[in-house]
Amino acid sequence: MNFDVESLQKQIPYYLTAEDRRILLAELQAISKGGEANYFLGKHNNSFDNQILQGDGWKALQLFVFNSGERRSVQGMILSNSCDVDPENKRDLPTRVTFAPLVKLSAYEEVLRASKIEQQKIDEKLAAIRAQKTSNVFFLPKNESLEEDHIVRLDEAHSMPVAVHIGEESRKKLFTLSNTGFYMLVFKLSVHFCRLQESVNRNDDTAAA
């Protein structure tokens, strides 16, 4: 997956200051070249500890393992929109939060090796992941809460009731994304789930021909 940073510049949120926009664009350009960027808000300056925000990393999210039916507590990233899972946003029916597990990049690399993939191809895959050029994978560099690089597979989404997550005593926020991390996540989600250029003409007349 390739992305044109210059075209993305036109879609940068209007509410950012000129300096914030400059930093965001510079970091998006760095990511596209495999460089480093500030994906996270620092723990010492995070006013969102008690909020559930899109892109958050949390402990004690619960999923069901498809093959065994086992319920498992995992570390994961929130994929749901922040407003949709805000408990202050009253709904007629109980809401659910969608998330995907956090996976160590080293563990993913071991799976590739076990599949007998050549090391050169593995290295190329990992480089593409770090540059956010793999459409179904979101890369997270190590930070204050992640001791090593992680990934999130966007095609491994799970959901659970928001009320259950809020009521879980062992839950703990691991990180909150910065403007750069959040904007990159939203872009990756839009490409993964909503790709208009799917090359399928859904016209009834065309299908019947």
DSSP string, the chain: ----HHHHGGGS-TTS-HHHHHHHHHHHHHHHTT-----B--GGG-S-TTS--TT-EEEEEEEE-TTT--EEEEEEEE-S-TGGG-TTS--SS--EEEEEEEEEHHHHHHHHHHTT--HHHHHHHHHHHHTT--TTEEEE---SS-SS-EEEETTS-EEEEHHHHHH-TT-EEEE-B-HHHHHHHHHHHHHHH--S-------HHHHH-
- Regions of the chain with pLDDT less than 70: 1-11, 13, 34, 44-46, 196-199, 205-209
Q: Whole-model pTM? A: 0.84
Q: What is the pLDDT of residue 25?
A: 79
Q: What is the pLDDT of residue 24?
A: 78
Q: What is the pLDDT of residue 154?
A: 96
Q: What is the pLDDT of residue 186?
A: 87
Q: What is the pLDDT of residue 7?
A: 58
